[in-house]
Structure 1
Amino acid sequence: MTERSEGFDPDWLALREGADAAARAGELLGPLRDALPPDGPLVIWDLGCGTGALGRWLAGRLRGPQHWILHDRDPALLDRARANAYVTADGTPATIETRTGDLAGLRAADLVGASLVTGSALLDVLTAAEIETIAAAAGCPALLTLSVVGRVRLSPSEPLDAEFAAAFDAHQRRGGLLGPDAVTAATKAFGGRGAHVLTRPSPWRLGPGQAELTAEWLRGWVGAAVEQRPDLAPAADDYLSRRLAECAAGRLTAEVHHLDLLAVPGGTS
């Protein structure tokens, strides 16, 4: 879960791609398809695209032709994203271009001609002002997936789970970031501009088959909690050791809850 100065660790993004794909709310695809233009090329902006995992998942679930504009602040991640082929539901390859930049500079003029704005694991690392910027700029449907909501359930449970969860949520809100409050803020931002907003759960359900991902997530989760609350440090090493041992033995399951959001202009929220 390591965040680099430019963006997110590509190894972490690769590790989570399968769990993300399994978690995304497929029931939003029907309303999304209904909201898209019935013909002509789809122009899709992927904000904070990382290595392009959302595009690899979504392109094959939408008709072609498609043109993807991949937007991220990290040129190295954009290089990885551009190297992957996107294939539409029609079996035709999508075309891809990349844009480097921060979302704070996004303008409505940038998105003129867009059919769809997308983003994955994005909203919860934004500020309220950045979410307002996206909502104001997007004059088309927006599908924003896998935003954390501040609910984690580990089994078997421990009394310390709640302490680390609360500290992690506080860390997510540091410096004005919205963290678990992001979907509420985005619903208000899009809905206040006349969009019809749908949200659906998209939880990670991690078991023995995802032990490597679970272990890496645990390390990042506990590490962020301790960074936020150093008083947890004395208990953290033993707690993490126990949890990692349970994970390695196939005895630990984790549910990390997210929400997916679809905003369609012109409706009522």
Structure 2
Amino acid sequence: MSVVIPVSADWLTLREDADAGSRSRALAVKAGRMLRPPVVVHDLGTGTGSMVRWCAPLLPGPQTWVLHDWNDALLEHAATAAAHDGGGATVTVRTRVGELGGLQGADVAGASLVTASALLDVLSADEAAAVVAACVAAGAPALFALSVTGRVALDPIDPGDRVFEAAFNDHQRRTVDGRQLLGPDAATVVADLFRSAGWSVRVADSPWRLEPRDRALIAEWLDGWLDAAVAQRPALHEWAAEYARMRSAQLAADGLRVVVHHVDLLAWPS
């Protein structure tokens, strides 16, 4: 199994503030209360390290973070960006380059906590089961943030909203190289897997609430949302072009607001 997530450092940097403002602090604080120093956190699909920078201050120290990603360039970037624990001390960072599809308990052995952000929805059912099994084998609580639910809300409302949302969600569930992605179903699937293992699970909403000040992020998100919808349903191409022009004009006039719904999930041994 292979999990390769084609993302750029520019996109991850653009969304970092929105991510930080959306993740559930309550779940992170609850996770922190379960930990006993020294703390070792394994972060899956690290990217540029935004989860480390956001989460580390909410956890006790001293902390060591082990960052897992297939992209060594992103990992190098993540490792050079300083993060600090709840006491203000700099956390120790180690990196591991490798794909996440075959994750095993040994890969996260010794973890106090396993984290991920915006990862679950690009996994297949088998890959999600492997991640859950690895956490269970390690006995480490898991904090998985920002899994898309498939729901978006744009203001002002337009009849195209639900059409492009449905096409985008079908694209999120597409089959890639024999892997059917979980997309908006991911958080529910993972929560059920943890509960089946006898673990406790808590879920919290973590929506992006994007305002005119987030113009660059809205523009980039909108392009990607429509591109995915059209890739899934090519017949939408002309409508999508017209819709994009309308939304771009609203955005330029500071007249567009967007809510992109996500959920965060915390699971721990009962």
> Structure 2 length as normaliser, TM-score?
0.94
Structure 1 residue 6 displacement after superposition: 6.2
Number of the residue aligned with 2:202: 198
Structure 1 residue 105 displacement after superposition: 2.2
Number of the residue aligned with 1:263: 267
Give distance in 2, aligned partners of 1:130 and 1:167: 24
Change (3 A) 1:6 1:34: closer
SS in 2 for 1:85: coil
Give distance in 2, aligned partners of 1:42 and 1:130: 26
Aligned pairs for 1:12-91 (under 5 A) are 12-37=11-36, 40-91=37-88
SS in 1 for 2:101: helix
CA deviation map 1:18-49 (0-9, x unaligned): 00000011121332122222xx3100000000
**What is the aligned counterpart of 1:96 among 93, 98, 105?**
93
Matched, 1:241 2:245: yes
SS in 1 for 2:85: coil
* C-alpha contact 1:70 1:96 (8 A) present in aligned 2: yes
**What is the aligned counterpart of 1:113 among 110, 113, 129?**
110
RMSD: 1.0
* C-alpha contact 1:126 1:177 (8 A) present in aligned 2: yes
AA partner of residue 70 (structure 1)? L
SS in 1 for 2:157: coil
Structure 2: which 5+ residue stretches go unaligned? none
Give distance in 2, aligned partners of 1:197 and 1:179: 20
Structure 1 residue 7 displacement after superposition: 3.2
CA deviation map 1:172-197 (0-9, x unaligned): 00111000000110011111111100
* C-alpha contact 1:198 1:263 (8 A) present in aligned 2: yes
**What is the aligned counterpart of 1:131 among 118, 128, 150?**
128
SS in 2 for 1:250: coil
AA partner of residue 164 (structure 1)? F
Give distance in 2, aligned partners of 1:83 and 1:34: 28
AA partner of residue 135 (structure 1)? V
* C-alpha contact 2:28 2:55 (8 A) present in aligned 1: no
Give distance in 2, aligned partners of 1:99 and 1:7: 18
Bigger shift: residues 48-57 or 242-251 = 242-251
* C-alpha contact 2:42 2:66 (8 A) present in aligned 1: yes
Matched, 1:251 2:255: yes
Number of the residue aligned with 1:212: 216
Number of the residue aligned with 2:154: 154
SS in 2 for 1:225: helix
SS in 1 for 2:140: coil
Give distance in 1, aligned partners of 2:99 and 2:250: 40
Percent identical: 50
Give distance in 2, aligned partners of 1:64 and 1:239: 49
Question: Across the two proteins, how many residue pairs are aligned to each other?
Answer: 260
SS in 2 for 1:103: coil
SS in 1 for 2:158: coil
SS in 1 for 2:130: helix
AA partner of residue 81 (structure 1)? A
Structure 1 residue 107 displacement after superposition: 1.0
AA partner of residue 17 (structure 1)? E
AA partner of residue 249 (structure 2)? A
* C-alpha contact 1:142 1:263 (8 A) present in aligned 2: yes
Give distance in 1, aligned partners of 2:94 and 2:124: 26
* C-alpha contact 2:46 2:75 (8 A) present in aligned 1: yes
Give distance in 2, aligned partners of 1:230 and 1:6: 23
Following TM superposition, the consecutive aligned residue runs of length 4 or more in structure 1 with deviations greater than 2 angstroms are none
